[in-house]
Structure 1
């Protein structure tokens, strides 16, 4: 499981195990700080220490971050970046009280579906002026991503990384079924043909689960492929139970019914089966490219196949956000902005931790492709990727999607009944979020 999404996974697990509660996220307040100006990423003020909260607690990402921070600190005599690692869920829980007391970080990183919540709680500085001075604009990032950092007309996030889903393939398993490992399925017909060939050899070709990782992300990708969406435009109503949603979830359930997938796949059972040579395909995130258990010559990755009427794939993102502490030191905010620009300009190595740099100029550079050839299939998906919904408190409504997927995959409900029931619960949560946060 990708640790970066622990907050959403925890919410979904609670919903699955205890029933969906109708309480909105804690916090309150309206609006954020007024913003601070910087001059093209430079900082010439007094020496400051910038505290930076993030959820990269281990593995390659933490190692890469430590090296980048050390390099930045050694080249900036008047700025000291002090990273503080903690679980993503702990950041959400601890920031409101810490910021109210003036003891929060000066800079943080948030997932795309957390930005609006933090902004509505008054935890973040409006960063329009910073963005303008640094020269960032929507066209510097994948389509639709920059706008996800906007809340009530103000910019609060600067994109840092993106993590699309892809199709992981065990080449040796394909060969057992007489399928060329170079002929990776890209459409519905070819994918079904391969699954049938695998079944004929006694191999269940794709293990479908009902968890956030990766059943929910696969369902959402299929929903968009069939022309649907998760919520309506103003995020006041769930729409994942549309005919497109029913088609998407029915596709997944049918994989189990037809014997292409076993029933009751455990959390992470699908990626473990791929590694063990028990299955051929796994829809999973780009972070698995750094999974050392995947033998180098055994696997490859490709864009997810187009099952529906159009291309579509789920992707998450992370954004830099400037924190609105009580009595926030503007010098620290300016220094934090200088650090953000420096990091964006040195983000090629971030791909080594299983995330793509959000900045187009870095991500599309020849050096990144040369250093990390396994990432090439994911690069091509970003033109049609869909990122997290932007609305205060949205993670609680997102969790209902996993409940629906789980209930249908386990055969507890039909796809339509499962989606309808959870969409109704999501509507209640969305209404409570509107009441709490004001839109």
Structure 2
């Protein structure tokens, strides 16, 4: 962590004694009824709380223990035990662990997993915790709280966001006679730059058919053309709308018209950018921590507006309070204090290649002064779109990548690929409704 970045945000005076209705939760148990979460500081007896997270790579394995150690040193009555493990292992272990009363007291999950955990009865509703901690939707990027909601209740408190941006190899642009200072912001400018690069024998953007990052680019374009992944109640896939066809056709056209080579491998586009073989790459904020960028002259900007409106894909992570069998009310209250403290001290999280979700931390000028490459990502948050909140949604989402891959490899036309994927996704949505009771 860089010195001077981690800092505690100025906290408002928060109301005390807001109760959490744990008694009505499926976990029940002697320690689960009528507890009160203090506004910012837990004042009950000493407790030890367990924290599960999937932060096993990059800077996180160093940063998280330091944050936990600092928190523990400042709170004599709370001991946080950090238990990092792979995200996939967490999702497999969580149901049995929580139902047996052996799960974590607090955990972090991606936005598209929160509703699944909630539908399984694994989470405590967090509305009263949100109120007790003084949070509102205005404390985070617009729409982000919705990614942690399910059936009208709040189950997640935002921790981080990871929007896409346009990474640029300036040396490649210069070799094609393009001024790197003129980064394209719309379709006209972007296509002109790609045409100039093509004339110089350079494929300006390498399009891939994989989640990282072709799927994220497609979803950004879908929203830019005015579409959405699903209908409002997530009972029908809509990514095969006219907007979806326009988005996928744009990507296929880049290949067919020679602006991108065919059959780009997984991560081949970012590798091509770093090797000086291409000029532009749509990729996530996490690439700002890629040390290979130290070897090239590069910049990053918001993704260009190809469609009719500004939009960009972003993932997110959220805090969750677990509904363990016999959950101790004091541990939940202590976990709430931990979450508040972590969000207030989240500026250094930029070291991991993610943006702090808390507006007051992220908007502090010191953050961009220390991490200037984050500015275009921060600037794009007002029009960012986050994960669909619905139980079991990841299985349906996987079919979007299937359609993308089929189209960019020429196996199917964009409309056919999307229609086939949407049909299969709709079946999964029906199965999810039966499985989770929606």
User: How far apart in 2 are the matches of 1:302 and 1:32?
Assistant: 47
Show structure 2 runs of 5+ residues with no match: 1-24
SS in 1 for 2:44: coil
Q: Please give the residue correspondences for 1:233-272 in structure 2 after superposition, counting only pairs within 5 Å.
A: 233-272=232-271
User: How far apart in 2 are the matches of 1:32 and 1:377?
Assistant: 43
Identify which range, 220-229 or 74-83, moves more after superposition.
74-83
Q: Deviations over 1:410-433 (max 9, x none)?
A: 000000000000000000000110
The TM-score, its normalising length taken from structure 1, stands at 0.92
User: How far apart in 2 are the matches of 1:407 and 1:265?
Assistant: 13
User: How far apart in 2 are the matches of 1:246 and 1:319?
Assistant: 32
Deviation (angstroms), 1:61: 2.1
User: How far apart in 2 are the matches of 1:329 and 1:363?
Assistant: 33
User: How far apart in 2 are the matches of 1:221 and 1:106?
Assistant: 35
Q: Deviations over 1:307-357 (max 9, x none)?
A: 000000000000000011111111111111100000111111111211111
**Residue 157 to residue 84, structure 1, CA distance change in 2 (3 Å):** same
**Residue 395 to residue 31, structure 1, CA distance change in 2 (3 Å):** farther
Deviation (angstroms), 1:62: 2.2
Are 1:109 and 2:108 counterparts? yes
Are 1:131 and 2:130 counterparts? yes
Q: Deviations over 1:98-147 (max 9, x none)?
A: 11111111110011111110000011111111111001001111111112
Are 1:86 and 2:85 counterparts? yes
Which residue number in structure 2 is paired with residue 282 of structure 1? 281
Which residue number in structure 1 is paired with residue 315 of structure 2? 316
Deviation (angstroms), 1:32: 7.1
Identify which range, 203-212 or 362-371, moves more after superposition.
362-371
The TM-score, its normalising length taken from structure 2, stands at 0.92
Q: Is the 8 A contact 2:50 2:81 kept in 1?
A: yes
User: How far apart in 1 are the matches of 2:254 and 2:337?
Assistant: 50
Q: Is the 8 A contact 1:219 1:249 kept in 2?
A: yes
Q: Deviations over 1:228-274 (max 9, x none)?
A: 00000000000000000000000000000011111111100000111
User: How far apart in 1 are the matches of 2:202 and 2:183?
Assistant: 17
Deviation (angstroms), 1:299: 1.1
User: How far apart in 2 are the matches of 1:360 and 1:296?
Assistant: 32
CA root-mean-square deviation: 1.3
Q: Please give the residue correspondences for 1:204-219 in structure 2 after superposition, counting only pairs within 5 Å.
A: 204-219=203-218
Are 1:401 and 2:412 counterparts? no
User: How far apart in 2 are the matches of 1:296 and 1:338?
Assistant: 42
Show structure 1 runs of 5+ residues with no match: 1-29
Which residue number in structure 2 is paired with residue 383 of structure 1? 382
Q: Deviations over 1:39-96 (max 9, x none)?
A: 1121112211111000000211222212111111111111111111111111111000
SS in 2 for 1:221: helix
